[in-house]
């Protein structure tokens, strides 16, 4: 089933599955079983982060799966680092590799656009050249921050993982990223069910037309746009359902219907909110 998942080609030629499995807010005790079930269902893209506190459990599931390492695409993320950022980034990366039990990751992301992310990026460029991070990118970067990083550094981020779902669609930003060679990736593709996503009449109606669930419609909408998505669930039946979205196609009219759901508002938190900047910037991993 893994071979049935389409891929996107990153700006350095690496192939990345367009649909994967995320473990944000999956507690450490549940993560190993969830990742094992996801791998059994056919997922080959796994997304974690140092800040999630479950890298070890992800690594344990990978080790027990018996799946060849080159068939997996593993992403983890770097949390905000104190100075000296370059030195601490390399230390944090080594710690993530140790917890994952891997020799390399396929994608390493700056998790938040705060602190000395220039220093972090320089360290990540070195890790990329060493081959220990096959691709490097960012998460939660706004257009101005992303362009600033691109213009003033050697390596163009391969990916920008940002909040993207029917209520916050990022279509204009996706076009800007495409022009710069950056792949858009969605976190929170279902908006965690907020704003009535799972009972939305438009999404339900489109689902009935195709014999699919609202979740499947959303994932098909994202992947049809060329957006990588990493839905999260600990339910094996929903894992399989979320992966089963490549046997139908939304019409132009249906894509337009979903486009009309856009409000542009975050369903989670605003990175431009001063209090959120203070909270994120003060948080350090123990």
Ramachandran sector of residue 13 (left: φ over 0; alpha: ψ -120 to 50; beta: rest): left
Q: Name the residue among 158, 148, 181 with its Cα closest to residue 105.
A: 158
Q: Which one of 43, 52, 108, 117 is the catalytic residue? A: 52
CB of 249 closer than 8 Å to CB of 44: no
On the question of a cis peptide bond just before residue 101, with omega within 30 degrees of 0, the verdict is no
* Active-site residue flag, 52: yes
44: tokens are: 């080959």
Residue 134: φ, ψ to 5°: -65, -30
Task: Please tell me the distance from the alpha carbon of residue 36 to that of residue 30, in angstroms, as a whole number.
Answer: 10
Residue 177: φ, ψ to 5°: -60, -45
Q: Name the residue among 41, 30, 95, 90 with its Cα closest to residue 65.
A: 41
Q: Tell me the catalytic residues.
A: 52
């Amino acid at each position: 089933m893994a071979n049935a998942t389409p891929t996107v080609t990153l700006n350095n030629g690496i192939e990345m599955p367009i649909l994967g499995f995320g473990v944000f807010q999956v507690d450490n005790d549940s993560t190993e079983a969830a990742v094992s079930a996801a791998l059994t269902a056919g997922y080959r893209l796994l997304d974690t982060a140092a800040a999630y506190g479950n890298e070890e459990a992800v690594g344990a599931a990978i080790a027990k799966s018996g799946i060849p390492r080159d068939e997996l695409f593993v992403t983890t993320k770097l949390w905000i680092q104190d100075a000296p950022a370059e030195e601490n980034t390399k230390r944090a990366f080594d710690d993530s590799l140790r917890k994952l039990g891997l020799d390399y990751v396929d994608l390493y992301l700056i998790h938040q656009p705060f602190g000395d992310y220039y220093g972090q990026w320089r360290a990540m460029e070195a890790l990329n050249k060493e081959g220990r991070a096959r691709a490097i990118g960012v998460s939660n970067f706004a257009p101005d921050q992303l362009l600033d990083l691109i213009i003033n550094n050697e390596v163009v981020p391969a990916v920008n993982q940002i909040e993207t779902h029917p209520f916050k669609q990022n279509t204009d930003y996706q076009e800007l990223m495409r022009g710069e060679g950056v792949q858009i990736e969605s976190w929170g593709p279902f908006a965690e069910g907020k704003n009535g996503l799972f009972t939305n009449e438009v999404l339900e109606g489109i689902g009935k037309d195709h014999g699919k669930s609202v979740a499947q419609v959303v994932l098909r909408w994202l992947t049809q746009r060329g957006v990588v998505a990493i839905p999260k669930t600990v339910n094996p039946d929903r894992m399989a359902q979320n992966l089963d979205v490549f046997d139908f196609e939304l019409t132009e009219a249906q894509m337009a219907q979903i486009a009309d759901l856009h409000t542009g508002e975050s369903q989670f938190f605003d990175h431009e909110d001063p209090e959120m900047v203070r909270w994120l910037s003060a948080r350090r991993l123990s």
